[in-house]
């Protein structure tokens, strides 16, 4: 599994491009406004989350998926590696947003890092099985829904902040339970999808 993780990180580093900076343009609109950190968290969460599907795309282009049947790894390990990679990427997302939040506002808030972490994580819980099942190109249609997510969520910003204050003490526990349920469903679909490459 270490080899797969190394391969994925190497793939991302090779594909880093200044073009990614264009995805930050929408954030500029909110600089100096109350919604800046909120929009920043969501967009960065999506941007970082997309990196996992990029690694699956690289696997497809290099025909690695055709060799799943001869790799000395079970399809459970192959699938789990993508989820571990997702967790690492999501944690990096939260750390970066935390640092930006502190630099921008001077406050040690965990709300915005949590939003970015959650977006990156939940995005891949959906995209990973979709990419394995339909292929990356078709799986990317899910991104269309996530691109309008910031607009939808901003409409409920006040509600989310109130819920956060009410559920703050149990927020971590609720998030863990929710993601465990989503993870189990996502993982089962991914394993079944990868299994077809092993036949």
Angstrom CA distances, 89 to 93, 96, 118, 122, 161, stand at 6, 11, 11, 12, 25
Q: Would you say residue 22 has pLDDT above 90?
A: no
Residue identified by tokens 């990317």 is 140
Task: Identify the pLDDT of residue 199.
Answer: 47
The average confidence (pLDDT) of the chain is 76
User: What backbone phi and psi angles, to 5 degrees, belong to 68?
Assistant: -55, -35
155 is in which domain, residue-wise? 2-198
Averaged pLDDT, 135-152: 65
3-state helix, strand, coil in the chain (%, to 5): 85, 0, 15
**Cα end-to-end distance, the chain, whole Å:** 21
Q: Could you tell me the pLDDT band of residue 162, with boundaries at 50, 70 and 90?
A: low
**Residue where the block lists tokens 């409920």:** 156
- Mean pLDDT for 145-170 is 63
pLDDT at 197: 62
pLDDT at 88: 92
Give residue-wise pLDDT tens across range 63-121.
666 656 666 677 788 888 899 999 999 999 999 889 888 887 777 778 888 889 988 88
In the predicted model, what is the mean pLDDT of residues 180-187?
88
pLDDT in tens, 104-113: 777 777 888 8
Q: Which has the minimum average pLDDT: 117-126, 166-175, 184-193? A: 166-175
Domain count, the chain: 1
């Amino acid at each position: 599994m270490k080899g797969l993780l190394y391969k994925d990180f190497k793939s991302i580093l090779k594909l880093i491009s200044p073009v990614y900076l264009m995805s930050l343009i929408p954030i500029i609109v909110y600089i100096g406004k109350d919604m800046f950190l909120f929009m920043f968290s969501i967009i960065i969460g999506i941007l970082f989350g997309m990196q996992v599907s990029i690694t699956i795309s690289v696997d497809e282009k290099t025909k690695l998926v055709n060799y799943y049947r001869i790799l000395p790894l079970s399809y459970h390990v192959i699938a789990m590696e993508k989820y571990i990679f997702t967790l690492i990427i999501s944690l990096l997302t939260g750390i970066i947003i935390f640092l930006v939040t502190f630099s921008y506002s001077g406050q040690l808030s965990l709300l915005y890092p949590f939003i970015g972490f959650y977006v990156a994580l939940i995005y891949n819980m959906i995209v990973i099985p979709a990419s394995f099942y339909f292929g990356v190109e078709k799986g990317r249609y899910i991104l269309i829904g996530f691109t309008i997510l910031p607009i939808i969520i901003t409409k409920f910003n006040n509600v989310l902040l109130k819920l956060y204050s009410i559920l703050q003490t149990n927020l971590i526990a609720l998030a863990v339970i929710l993601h465990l349920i989503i993870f189990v469903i996502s993982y089962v679909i991914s394993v079944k999808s990868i299994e077809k490459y092993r036949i």
